[in-house]
Structure 1
Amino acid sequence: MKLWYTIFIFIFYFILNAKAQTPVVLWHGMGDDCCNPKSMGGITELIQAHLPGVFVHSVKLGDSINDDRNAGFFGIINDQVDSVCQQLANIPELANGFNAVGFSQGGLFMRAYVERCNLPPVRHLITFGSPHGGVSDIPNCIDIHDFKCTLMRTMVKRGVYTSYVQHHVVQAQYYKSSTDLQDYLDRNIFLPQINNQVEEKFKNNTYRDHLGNLETFVMIKFTEDTMIKPPESAWFWTLDKDNQIWPLEQQKLYQEDWLGLQFLEHNGRLKFLECPGLHMQISDEFFIKEVIQPYLADGARKHFVNQQL
C-alpha cells in the first residue's frame, strides 16, 4: 500500500509541476544571443530537463539573431529595457509572474526590468557575473576576431562619457570611472539612475520597492573572473576614489537603502554566491544545485512531496 501511495504522490507532483511550474526568463550577455545552442539554448534544455513542462523564454531584441547580438554592443540600454518590458508583458505564459536569470550584462538589464517595470513580476532574480557596481575597464572580447566587440572598445576608448558614445555603446553606459566619479554621475546615462545614485529629489522609490518585493535576489560572482573589472561588481562592490575595493555594506547605496538591498538582506532574501571558474564558465552541476533546485523549482510543491514520502 505504501509503495502505491508513493507512486501516486510522484505522479501527482509531476503533473502539477508540468501545469503550474513558474516560468523562467533568460537574458543573455555581451556577444551572445537569445538562441545560441551552446549557451542560452543549452541552459534552456537543462532547465526543462529538470523542470518538466516549464515555459522558458529567452529575451531577444530585434527581428533577427543578428539584431539581437548587435543589441548587446550598440544601442541605448534604457530603450532596450523598455522594449523588453513590452515584450514580456505580451507573453501570456508569464502573466502570473516568472523567475529570471541574467547572464553578465543581461543580469544588470534584468535588474533594470525589475526596477522599472516588473509587470509581470519577477519572483526570484538570479544574476551571473553582472556588473551591478559598474566596470572600471571595458570588457574584453572573448573572440579576438569579433569586429563588433573591437569596434565597441575603440569607440569607448575615444571618450566613454561623450554624449555620442553614451548614446551608442552599451558597455559605456555601465562604465564607472574610479578616478572621475563626478563625470560618471553627471554624464553616464544609465547606471547612476538605475542604482539611484542621483540627487535626493530625483531618487526613484519605485526601484527600491520593486526590488524589495523579490522573493530572492541571488548575485553570483565568478571566482576567476577577468572579464568584469572588478569582478566583485557582481555583488555591487565597486572601486572608490583611491581605486580600492568598496564593499556594498560600506556604501551609502546600502546604508541608506536606495535600492532595498539592505531590506532584502535583513529578511534573508539577498544571497551572495560564488561560481568556480572564469567569466560565464558555469557547469551543469553548479546550475542545477545552486539555481534550479533552490530557486527555479517551485518550493511549496517540492516541500509537499518531501513531507509525504
Structure 2
Amino acid sequence: MKELSKGYNIVGLSQGSLIGRGIVEFCEGAPPVRNLISVAAPQAGVASIPLNAGGTTVRTIANSIMKAGAYSDYAQKRFAPTGYIKLPKLYILFWQNIKGYLKSCKFLPKLNNERPNDRNPAYKKRFSSLKNLVLIMNENDTTIRPKESSWFGYYEDGSTKKVLQPREVPSSCNSLSYTPKVYIDFTSGLYCSQKNRFISSCFNNSTPVSLLLVRQLRHDGHMLDSVSTNGNVTNSQFNLQTKLYMEDWIGLKKLDKAGRVKFIKVEGNHLQISGAELLHYIIPYLQ
C-alpha cells in the first residue's frame, strides 16, 4: 500500500501480536514496521489452552483436542491456539513435549526460529530492524501461562515451575535497564540502596547468612528474585535466561542491547490496561 510505504506501527493484542510479528518477519519486501507494541501476547508460547478461548463449549472442545494431541495435523489446521502451544513436560499418553512441539507445531517454532537446522537469518534481520519493541505483560494474567511469555520468558524444558527470564542480566548493571534500586536480605535485615552497583558489592561476603533472598524491587516494570544458600551472591545466579535470547535466534538480544526493547508490567488480568497506561506506554509509539 502506498500509504504505508514510509513505514507504520502495529499494536497487537494477545495472539494478534504473533500475527503482527509474523508480518514483520515473514513478509519480504513489505513496507517497514517501525514500532511493534505487543500487549499480553504468548510470544514464547503457552503451556495450556487459553482459559478465555470462547465460551464453555469452546473451552471444553479445545481442551479435549489438547488431550487428544495438540500437535496432530487435525488440531494444527483447525485450532489457532495449537499453533503456539509449547508443552514443556512429557505427556506420556500422547508423547507430547518439546520434541513434538519442534517437529509438528506449525507456527511458533518457525516464528521464533527455534528449529536448529532450519533457522532463517532473514527473520532475524527483519525483526531486529524494528525501531522499538514494546512488550507489555499483565501482572495477574491467568490466560497466558506462564505470564512471562509476554516478555519472551518461558518454562525450562521439562518443568512448569522454573521460568527462564526473557533477557540477559549483565555483569555490569550500567548497560541495560536492570539498574538496582534496593536490595534486601530478608534473613539478616541488611539493606542496600546504591544505584548502579551489583549485589555482590553491596554486601560483605563474610556476613554469615544461611539463606539470602535477594529481590530487585520494581524498576522499569520488572522484578527479579534470586536465592543463595551460602550468602555469596554472584552474577551466575541471575543468568537463567532463554536460549532464544542468549543465542539471539530472532534478534531480540540485538534489539535489547541497542536499547530498543521496552519490558513493561501492568496490573490486572489478561489484556486489562487502563487509559492512563494506554496513554503512557502505547500512544507515544504511534506518533
TM-score range, shorter chain: 0.5 to 0.7
AA in 2 matched with 1:282: I
SS of 2:78's equivalent in the other structure is coil
Aligned equivalent of 2:286: 296
Bigger share in strand? 2
SS of 1:217's equivalent in the other structure is strand
Corresponding position: 1:248 with 2:248: no
Structure 2 CA distance for partners of 1:117 and 1:133, relative to 1, 3 Å: same
**Pairwise CA distance, 1:199:** 2.0
Q: 2: CA distance between counterparts of 1:150 and 1:165?
A: 14
> CA offsets, 1:71-118, max 9 Å, x none?
xxxxxxxxxxxxxxxxxxxx4322221011000000111111101116
Question: Contact 1:102 / 1:128 at 8 angstroms: preserved in 2?
Answer: yes
AA in 2 matched with 1:152: A
**Pairwise CA distance, 1:275:** 1.7
| Equivalences for residues 1-309 of structure 1 within 5 A | 91-117=1-27, 119-141=30-52, 144-145=55-56, 147-179=57-89, 180-200=97-117, 202-240=118-156, 241-243=158-160, 244-249=162-167, 250-293=241-284, 295-297=285-287
| TM-score, structure 2 normalization | 0.67
**Pairwise CA distance, 1:162:** 1.2
Q: 2: CA distance between counterparts of 1:192 and 1:110?
A: 16
AA in 1 matched with 2:269: L
Runs of 4+ in 1 over 6 A off after TM superposition: none
**Pairwise CA distance, 1:188:** 0.8
**Pairwise CA distance, 1:185:** 1.0
Q: 2: CA distance between counterparts of 1:152 and 1:188?
A: 16
Percent of aligned positions with the same letter in both sequences?
37
AA in 2 matched with 1:171: P
Question: Contact 1:218 / 1:272 at 8 angstroms: preserved in 2?
Answer: yes
Paired positions, count: 204
Bigger share in helix? 1
AA in 1 matched with 2:145: K
Q: 1: CA distance between counterparts of 2:4 and 2:267?
A: 32
Gaps of 5+ in 1: 1-90, 298-309
SS of 2:42's equivalent in the other structure is coil
**Pairwise CA distance, 1:156:** 2.7
- The root-mean-square deviation of aligned C-alpha atoms, in Å, is 1.6
Aligned equivalent of 2:237: none
Q: 2: CA distance between counterparts of 1:159 and 1:183?
A: 10
| TM-score, structure 1 normalization | 0.63
Question: Contact 1:156 / 1:169 at 8 angstroms: preserved in 2?
Answer: no
SS of 1:220's equivalent in the other structure is strand
Q: 2: CA distance between counterparts of 1:199 and 1:121?
A: 27
SS of 2:282's equivalent in the other structure is helix
> CA offsets, 1:232-279, max 9 Å, x none?
100111111232211123222111211111110111001100122111
**Pairwise CA distance, 1:296:** 1.2
Question: Contact 1:141 / 1:150 at 8 angstroms: preserved in 2?
Answer: no
Q: 2: CA distance between counterparts of 1:143 and 1:197?
A: 29
**Pairwise CA distance, 1:143:** 5.5
Question: Contact 2:152 / 2:166 at 8 angstroms: preserved in 1?
Answer: yes
Structure 2 CA distance for partners of 1:188 and 1:292, relative to 1, 3 Å: same
Q: 1: CA distance between counterparts of 2:140 and 2:3?
A: 37
SS of 1:234's equivalent in the other structure is helix
Gaps of 5+ in 2: 90-96, 168-240
Q: 2: CA distance between counterparts of 1:97 and 1:174?
A: 28
